[in-house]
Amino acid sequence: MISDTLLRFILTVVIIGTGWFAYWLFNQRLLGKAQSQILSLVDALPDKPVIVYFTTPDCTPCKTVQRPALRKLLMLAGDSVQVIEVDATQRPELAKEWGVMSVPTTFLLDARGEARYVNNGVTRVEKLMEQLQTLSDFEI
Amino acid sequence: MATHSLQKVDHSALKTNQLIIISLNLLAFVFNSPALAAIVALAMGTGVLIKKPGFGFVYTSLLKPRGWMKPDVLDDNPEPHRFAQFVGFLFMAAGSGFLFFGTTLPGWTLVWVVVALAALNAFGGFCVGCAMYYWLTRLNVPGFSKQPPENTFPGLKPKASING
């Protein structure tokens, strides 16, 4: 017989899992939006992975964590990746089109312009690097 | 009358509070402990009275001094956050009351509602209680006077005010 605590633990995992699935669906929606919007940022696909980084001037975690992380990523990856920074206060219509609700938000697109990952909130360089390495068209 | 006087609000303290509330409530549910839920309610109630996040002391006395969590100070209204904590306290107090009287379904449902709202705030950056506060301001309810920071959607973190 399953103990009460175990049953409650399983129920907790199921509820959190459902919440996580809802969050995943939300991210899929964001990726879908990004997919159709990449050419609003660049004239032509740059033939390498692109990170689109949404920020605002008063975003403290952007300054203290996200920007240094992206700088470090560029040092590690060199020309193999392009970072496009978007000030959401300067281009609010763009942030709206991409479905950005908070900053920092980073989108990772492969060389074909397909949106592959979206990170809501601060994302460490290790995670960005991990995501880049899953792209078949990424080479350092 | 609605006003615009913003103050410095450290959102890291708020986030710490939310994460502790989520953790303790989940533990309370898993171990079927109404007492733990009541402790959360008590901390939130105390926070309402002293006008600080109920578990904010963990941030100010432990996480911030050791550099484990960096301050995230924004120009914001503290009143909607206090109101949000008050709403959370009411849910937790009612939930704990139900649990102590053996009415477990509504009791745990209320605890889970608090978990969900705290998670939405901590991970999604949207404060439902704050949105309620600004909605009451719009309805000119006495005692509710603050407007959201400029270009900020009511309930969202000020720096997330990009959709205008």
List, as one string, the DSSP characters of A93-120. Answer: HHHHHTT--SSSEEEEE-TT--EEEEEE
Residue B126 tokens read as 């949207």
Residue B162's pLDDT band (boundaries 50, 70, 90)? very low
A89 and B160 in contact by Cβ < 8 A?
A: no
CB B24 within 8 A of CB B36: yes
Calculate mean pLDDT across residues A102-130.
88
Kindly tell me if the per-residue pLDDT of B6 is higher than 90: no
pLDDT score, position B1: 46
Q: How confident is the model at residue B133 (pLDDT cuts 50, 70, 90)?
A: very high
Q: How many domains does chain B have?
A: 1
Q: Report the pLDDT value the prediction gives residue B160, as an integer from 0 to 100.
A: 40
Query: Tell me, what's the pLDDT at B159?
Result: 53
- Res A53 pLDDT > 80: yes
Nearest to B30 by CA among A22, A16, A19: A16
What value does the mean pLDDT take over residues B120-142? 92
Put simply, the answer to whether B30 touches A15 (Cβ < 8 Å) is: no
Given a contact cutoff of 8 angstroms between Cβ atoms, the answer to whether B27 and B65 are in contact is no
Q: Does residue B77 lie in a domain region?
A: yes
Q: Do A103 and B124 touch (CB under 8 A)?
A: no
C-alpha to C-alpha distances, B29 to A6, A73, B32, B104, nearest whole angstrom: 11, 42, 5, 10
Instruction: Out of A26-30, B9-13, B91-95, B128-132, pick the least confident.
Output: A26-30
The pLDDT assigned to A139 comes to 66
The answer to whether the Cβ–Cβ distance between B159 and A58 falls below 8 Å is: yes
Q: Please report, rounded to a whole number, the percentage of residues in chain A having pLDDT higher than 70.
A: 94
pLDDT at A102 (0 to 100): 81
Terminal-residue alpha carbon distance, chain A: 54
B140 in a structural domain: no
Residue B153 belongs to some domain of the structure: no
**Is residue B154 in a domain?**
no
Burial of residue B88 (number of CB atoms within 10 Å: 0-12, 13-18, 19+) = buried
Structural domain range at position B50: 7-125
Whether residue A56 and residue B159 make contact (CB cut-off 8 A), yes or no, is: yes
Q: Is residue B137 part of a domain?
A: no
Q: How many CB pairs under 8 A join A and B?
A: 67
pLDDT in tens, B11-57: 999 999 999 999 999 999 999 999 999 999 999 999 999 999 999 99
Q: Is the CB of residue A63 less than 8 Å away from at least one CB of chain B? A: no
Q: Give the pLDDT of residue B161.
A: 39
Domains contained in chain A, CATH given: 4-133 (3.40.30.10)
Does the pLDDT at position B128 exceed 80?
yes
**Residue A60: what pLDDT?**
75
Alpha carbons B41 and B38: distance in angstroms, whole number? 5
| Cβ B9 vs Cβ B81: under 8 Å | yes
Does some domain include residue B158? no
The pLDDT value recorded for residue A129 is: 92
Q: Which of B30, B116, B163 lies nearest to residue A12, judging by beta carbons?
A: B30
Note whether residue B147 is domain-resident: no
What average pLDDT does the structure give for chain B? Answer: 90
pLDDT at position B4, please? 63
